[in-house]
């Protein structure tokens, strides 16, 4: 088994090539699409780095928020994603039913949604979470 370059290093190399060599050589729509491709590679790289941790943290928050049984987390990432989707569907149903319109549960829901949004932004666009002076 080959240790290096690993998947993240390969993604970073292609992203750097696009940003440093391809984007400057293009114009207009093609340049835009090359920037988008480089950004997609950066997102995938960050997801590989912390995606599994983020989904586990979200799963734990959802279990606590919905007072669901805690059982062990599914072993495979795909199964965990499905469980989180199911829990998010239950949360959405409760929000639609008005359970989060007021009271202490509303504050817990808002805290969960803020944390989940911040976690997703950290993967999709970490610059957005930086103070404005650093952007």
Domain boundaries, the chain: 7-134
User: Around 59, how many Cα atoms within 13 Å sit in the side-chain half-sphere?
Assistant: 21
Give every CB contact of residue 37 below 8 A, 6+ residues apart in sequence: 18
Q: What's the predicted TM-score (pTM) here?
A: 0.77
Give the per-residue pLDDT at 69.
80
In the block, which residue shows the tokens 């610059």? Answer: 127
In the block, which residue shows the tokens 């941790």? Answer: 53
Chain centre distance of CA 99: 26
Q: What is the mean pLDDT of the chain?
A: 91
DSSP 103: S
pLDDT in tens, 54-104: 999 999 999 999 998 867 888 888 899 999 999 999 999 999 999 999 999
Identify the three-state secondary structure at position 71: coil
Tokens encoding 7 = 């998947």
């Amino acid at each position: 088994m080959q240790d290096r370059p690993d998947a993240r290093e390969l993604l970073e190399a292609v992203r750097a090539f696009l940003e440093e060599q391809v984007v400057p050589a293009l114009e207009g729509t093609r340049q835009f699409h090359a920037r988008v491709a480089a950004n997609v590679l950066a997102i995938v790289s960050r997801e590989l780095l912390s995606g599994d941790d983020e989904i586990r943290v979200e799963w734990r928050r959802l279990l606590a928020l919905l007072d669901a049984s805690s059982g062990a987390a599914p072993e495979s990432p795909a199964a965990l994603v499905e469980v989180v989707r199911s829990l998010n569907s239950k949360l959405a149903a409760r929000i639609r039913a008005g359970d989060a319109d007021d009271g202490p549960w509303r504050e817990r829901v808002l805290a969960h949604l803020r944390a989940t949004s911040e976690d997703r932004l950290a993967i999709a666009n970490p610059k957005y979470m930086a103070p404005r002076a650093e952007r």
